[in-house]
Amino acid sequence: MALTNKVLRVNLSNGTCESEATNAEWAKKYLGQRGLATKYMVEEVDPKVDALSADNKLIFATGPLTGTAAPTSGRWSVITKSPLTGAIACSNSGGFFGAEMKNAGWDMIIFEGKSDGPVYLDITNDQAELKDASNMWGKTVWETEDMLREIRGDNDIRCASIGPAGESGVLFAAVVNDKDRAAGRSGVGTVMGSKNLKAIAVRGTVGTQVGDAMKFMQAAGAAKQILADNAVTGEGLPTYGTQVLMNVINETGALPTRNANDVQFEGASKIGGEAMHEIRESDGQANLVSNNACFGCPISCARISKIDPEHFTVKGRPEYQINSGGLEYESAWSLGAATGVDDLEALTYCNFICNELGMDPISLGSTIAAAMDLYKEGAITDEDTGGMKLEFGNTKALVAIVEATGRGEGFGVEIGQGSRRMCEKYGRPELSMTVKSQEFPAYDPRGIQGMGLTYATSNRGACHLRSYTVASEVLGIPEKTDPLTPDGKAGLVKAFQDATAVVDSSGTCIFTTFALTMDDIAPMIDADLEGDWSSETLMELGERVWNLERKFNMDAGLTAADDTLPQRLLKEAAKTGPAKGKVNELDKMLPEYYELRGWTADGVPSNETLDRLKL
């Protein structure tokens, strides 16, 4: 059985580490990772808690498939209350940390309280101890991981840590593991920093066991074959990574450009996946060095890049002339198209900085884009920015403000509060492209209608990874729907949301759903765990998780009024492309969505729905 049935509870206030049994009854209803950790949050944390107070909790969670032979079984999540949104936060990561934690024998690590000074958690199998991290405070993620390996004298440990951004209170700070994988969104790294927790180092040799090994290997093998045979997971993602989408979405007319003033970017071809393959004249190499894979992943969509040594960002700085995590579609968009910058090498450098200092590139780039809009409108001036000309397309200003934000310096302090707070401070709240205070990602809802409903109803604020209707509306997976109509999108969004909650609770990657259906995923879980884990059982579980998160948010003070979009998307029509003349028709989709969810007209889960889902 690939639940270890052990939870590590770490009280940072008194320095204790204690083992307890995983709540088996909760695991039957919520599976693991996102679902199970959210249940612990709901039961143990007041939804109205100050996210940065000692009373908030921070949960590192794996799923039942994490660390097994299931494809893409390296996933793990960080669950807490978000300081950026005030809503539930569940941020998912890959790499190797989650599998190592699982192989050390832990389903979850629950951090409580706050340490008096900087500490890190040192784990070897069932041995866990808090240790002094004073000499690591202020260090980057990259430096911290190197220091931990040297201290342990063990290159096989896996590390998750925060950088200066998490220490200085950047509200979208990330928890970074394996140097370039991250639980990136909603400020989970900020909560970690508020607790004076610098890092976790883990070595696990216990291993994992599944319920029926033969049945499990058959199901996992079948799933791997489906992934290999699929055009997206077997060819597109391995070759171009998520950057395969840059030109596709631009042609669709749904690439938010210059803070969503436009829906197409004239420089898209210069910063997309194809451009990363082009050979540079300066050194005869390409930006892309190779692809890379997380634990147990046959897709290998991650990128390893090296910056042109003659580029201004790294010239004379050999510490950045390295092979490290390259651009993903979201970071290339947020740092590039959203700001009007089409310099591939500069964007790669900014992405390195996000990894090194520990920041979410989506919120960072989107907030910089909002600042550029403020600058264009005269709401902020050179005096506010310290002489930095934050103009759309200004590459050097982009690089400078990224570095300043990560280190909490100058106008970077304002950027670090996110676009909603920044735009409100300077009197132009409408320039913040956020939902529930979280910046929306790289799909413009005027050109992809379902993504508007996805953003508006997402429990963690604007997010594409809670309901990726792009799969259907653009890629035709599992079936093609028209991206320009709101018709049928309420049911589509609900189905994607429930299915995603299952995958996030399982310990596998959402990218598998480009090829796998719930009928392919259920056999692996059923072979792994006791009980009936059919597709129907799992989809009801996903619906239960979604409603549990919704209930937490409403108890925290969010209402149906928060299920909306920036007015720019609702009132200002797309200027070019297939969606020219269209706005997002959220008003047509939202009432139908509430009805399908079994919620009241005010977006509140009805008693009947709560009873049906055993909530």
The three-class DSSP label of residue 276 is helix
Residues 24 and 103 in one domain: yes
Residues 56 and 182 in one domain: yes
Q: What pTM did the predictor assign?
A: 0.97
* Confidence grade of residue 323 (pLDDT, cut at 50, 70, 90): confident
Residues 337 and 458 in one domain: no
The three-class DSSP label of residue 290 is strand
Rounded Cα gap, residues 51 and 403, in angstroms: 25
**C-beta of residue 447 within 8 angstroms of C-beta of residue 484:** yes
Residues 299 and 329 in one domain: yes
Residues 366 and 492 in one domain: no
* Residue 1: pLDDT over 70: no
Q: What is the average pLDDT across 514-518?
A: 98
What is the per-residue pLDDT across 261-286, written as a single tens digit (0 to 9) for each?
A: 999 999 999 999 999 999 999 899 99
Rounded Cα gap, residues 270 and 576, in angstroms: 19
Q: What is the average pLDDT across 59-77?
A: 98
What is the per-residue pLDDT across 195-224, written as a single tens digit (0 to 9) for each?
A: 999 999 999 999 999 999 999 999 999 999
Q: What is the average pLDDT across 401-406?
A: 98
Residue entry with tokens 């931990």:
148
Residue 82: name the closest of 37, 36, 49, 118 by CA. Answer: 49
Per the structure, the complete domain to which residue 268 belongs is given by 257-432
* Residue 54: pLDDT over 90: yes
- What are the distances in angstroms from CA 298 to CA 14, 95, 221, 324, 518? 43, 13, 11, 20, 19
What is the per-residue pLDDT across 457-489, written as a single tens digit (0 to 9) for each?
A: 999 999 999 999 999 999 999 999 999 999 999
Structural domains of the chain, count: 3
The percent of residues in the chain predicted with pLDDT above 70, rounded, is: 100
User: What are the tokens at 439?
Assistant: 């910046």
359 pairs with which residues across the strands? 173
* Residue 2: pLDDT over 80: no
* Confidence grade of residue 320 (pLDDT, cut at 50, 70, 90): confident
Residue 188 lies in a domain: yes
Residue 208 lies in a domain: no
Residues 402 and 469 in one domain: no
Residue 239 lies in a domain: no
The three-class DSSP label of residue 183 is strand
Average pLDDT of every residue of the chain? 97
CA angle 398, 402, 407 (to 5 degrees): 150
Residues 372 and 475 in one domain: no
Residue entry with tokens 């794996």:
62
β-strand 324-325 against 434-435: which pairing, if any? unpaired
Q: For residue 453, what pLDDT is reported? A: 98
The CATH number given to whatever domain includes residue 262 is 1.10.569.10
* CB hemisphere CA count around 142 (13 angstroms): 13
Q: For residue 319, what pLDDT is reported? A: 84
Residue 592 lies in a domain: yes
Task: Name the domain boundary from 406, 432, 458.
Answer: 432
Residues 467 and 341 in one domain: no
The residues, any chain, with a CB within 8 Å of residue 136's CB and separated by 6 or more, are 118, 120, 143, 144, 147, 148, 161, 198, 199
Task: Name the domain boundary from 374, 400, 432.
Answer: 432
CA 561 to the chain's CA centroid: 24
Residues 475 and 592 in one domain: yes
Q: What is the average pLDDT across 347-371?
A: 98
Residues 84 and 19 in one domain: yes
Q: What is the average pLDDT across 80-92?
A: 98
Q: What is the average pLDDT across 148-162?
A: 96
**H-state helical runs in 208-343:** 213-229, 231, 237-240, 245-252, 268-271, 273-277, 329-332
Rounded Cα gap, residues 342 and 354, in angstroms: 18
Residue entry with tokens 């970690």:
192
Residues 331 and 418 in one domain: yes
Rounded Cα gap, residues 358 and 546, in angstroms: 28
Rounded Cα gap, residues 613 and 597, in angstroms: 11
* Confidence grade of residue 507 (pLDDT, cut at 50, 70, 90): very high
The percent of residues in the chain predicted with pLDDT above 90, rounded, is: 98
Q: Which amino acid is at 379?
A: A
DSSP result, 419-461: HHHHHHHTT-GGG--EETTEE--S--TTTSHHHHHHHHH-TTS
* Confidence grade of residue 4 (pLDDT, cut at 50, 70, 90): confident
Residues 166 and 76 in one domain: yes
